[in-house]
Amino acid sequence: MIYANAFFTSGNSYPNEDLVQLVDNYTHEAVVYKKIGTAVEDGVIYRKKDNDFYERQWSGYVNVLWWNIREAGILAPTVTERINKALALGYNTFFDEMSIEIKGTLYLQDNQKILSNKCTIKQTEVKAEIFNCEQKENISITGFMLKGEGVDYVVNASSRNVGILCTQAKNLMIEKNIFENFTYSAVSGLNGVEYLTFRFNKVKNLFTKTWAEEITGGRKDNMGIVVGGKNITIFKNYFENSSQGIYIVENSNFVSISDNDVENTILEHGMYLDSGISNLTVIGNRVRNTMKVGIKLQNSDNAGYISNNIVISNNIVENTSVGGDGILINNTTPGAPQLYAKNVVISGNVVRNAGQHGINVRFVDLGVVSNNVINGISYAGIYISDTKGVEICNNNIKTTQESGIMIEGKNYLLSANFNTIENPGMKNSGLEDLLTGITIRGTRNKEISVRNNKMIGSGDAMKYGIFVEFIEDPVVQQTFQDTYEIVGNTVLNAVTPYRFLNTAVALRLLNNNYKNLLTAPVQES
């Protein structure tokens, strides 16, 4: 058999037949070339012999090895140039099992599949992504081990220290890849991404907390994945040792985050879900060992976006650090925020060992916090503030350092029903309104219902089963009447079962509450 390079060498005596069978010089596989009309010679697919052009015949994928990227002594810039030559043809491209270094970016084309059989690509250029598919469509990237340069860090949301840069890409599939040591993010698409599926990938960095903290303000921009747009699916991935795990950019829509593992965020949150994300489901994830909040949804008046239709369900969140809630919904606009997240469901989650509150819900209009299991919390099991039409029901809360449920100010049509609270107030801080089963701080709360809850203290740690702190400002009273229902609750092992700090303010309804099941039930009037 004749090797291809020999056949196409100028001045040889091989006949210019219409169809020739040759051997690839680099893969040593049999290959067929067919004579065609004019073409642009690329040295592999299209080649010239004398005055004739030949096209390589193949089926399926082209192979980057055809461009001889593994010759002895080849430098990373030349490897990059040759791979880009292969990709520029727009064919589906195969990377065999090998380890290569590049210096620069590899540019993908529309309607292209990039497939690897355990190919490792290491980026040696600073401030450069490995794969770029910005503004491209219908691309899949499968099976790579991608390694970042790992040193350079830019405190900038447009950093290119990423594995895959996909801003404004459409119909993008990224699956079964491993990403390591990208100082900004494994995958970055800050806006305009549509129909992205990121699944079965692993993002596992070697970064440490010391690395994250060694610059002023910390390396907060280091993330597992950061994307924004619509119709985004993040499914069954593993993230470890980044400053933050999963970051969804503001004003995204139709986002599904399910069955992922986020482990050991070294500076910030497990998931950061930015302002105005709507039609969001966060289901069945496991978030462990975060330096801040496990799962955080943040609104902001400044952006003017409203989050609608949020479901955070059946997740496991454990071991958040000091100041880190397990699950947090909040509007962080300074002063008096105006925007509320609407239609929020937080259900069936397990929150364990949170460094602040277990579940913290603020600035929500219509919501349910139900059937969660909350255990070992540094502050309140459930903290509620600035809500409208929220129901807290059927939660099982155990061993909180402060209140089981803290109902802070400015809630309207709030109900806390059928919750079980065991061992609240374990901190014994001396602040009695924090050492309770359920606390209602009466700052502009209206239409509050606390029914059929059970509170069980440990020793004398629970100072009160239910503590209501009424406000006394007559102006506020005129504009925001306090109307509370406290009905059918059971309090066991409290120093004082019920306390109403200002008895001059009447409750609307207070009856059938029980102090001790060992004595005859007593109805309170």
DSSP state of 41: -
Residue 27 placed within a domain: yes
DSSP assignments along 162-221, one per residue: EEEE-TT-EEEEEES-EEE--SSEEEEEEEEEEEEEEES-EEE----HHHHHSSTT--TT
Query: For position 525, what pLDDT does the model report?
Result: 43
Phi, psi of 7 (to 5 degrees): -65, -40
> 34: domain range?
2-57
The number of domains in the chain is: 1
| Residue 1, pLDDT above cutoff 90 | no
> In the numeric block, which tokens belong to residue 115?
């497939």
Task: Specify the residue for token string 């500076």.
Answer: 267
* pLDDT of amino acid 501: 75
Does the pLDDT at position 477 exceed 70? no
Of the given ranges (173-182, 247-256, 513-522), which has the lowest mean pLDDT? 513-522
- How would residue 433 be classed by pLDDT, with cut points 50, 70 and 90? confident
Q: Does residue 105 lie in a domain region?
A: no
Note whether residue 285 is domain-resident: no
The CA distance from 419 to 392, in Å, is 8
Give mean pLDDT, residues 446-468. Answer: 92
Residue 11 forms part of a structural domain: yes
Q: Give the separation between CA 231 and CA 214, rounded to whole angstroms.
A: 36
Summarize the confidence of residues 273-278 as an average pLDDT. 95
* End-to-end Cα spacing for the chain: 103
The answer to the question of residue 42 being in a domain is yes
Let me know if residue 487 belongs to a domain.
Answer: no
pLDDT at 148 over 80: yes
| Tokens 């070992």 -> residue | 376
pLDDT value at position 159? Answer: 81
Torsional class of 4: left (φ above 0), alpha (ψ -120 to 50), beta (otherwise): alpha
- The string of pLDDT tens digits covering residues 169-208 is 999 999 999 999 999 999 999 999 999 999 999 999 999 9
Q: Give percent of the chain with pLDDT exceeding 90.
A: 76
For residues 450 and 234, give the distance between their C-alpha atoms in angstroms, rounded to a whole number. Answer: 38
By mean pLDDT, which of 189-198, 494-503, 510-519 is the weakest? 510-519
Closest by CA to 461, choosing from 492, 425, 491, is: 425
Percent of the chain with pLDDT over 70: 93
Q: For residue 30, what are its two tokens?
A: 């049999």
Instruction: Report the C-alpha dihedral over residues 166, 170, 175, 181, rounded to 10 degrees.
Output: 10
Indicate whether 511 belongs to any domain. Answer: no
Long-range CB contacts (within 8 A, 24+) of 88-94:
89/42, 89/45, 89/62, 91/61, 91/62, 92/60, 92/61, 92/62, 93/61, 93/62, 93/63, 93/64, 94/60, 94/61, 94/62, 94/63, 94/64
pLDDT digits 0-9 by tens, 29-79? 999 999 999 888 888 999 999 999 999 999 889 999 999 999 889 999 999
What single-letter DSSP state applies at residue 506? P
Nearest residue to 247 via CA among 184, 302, 200? 184
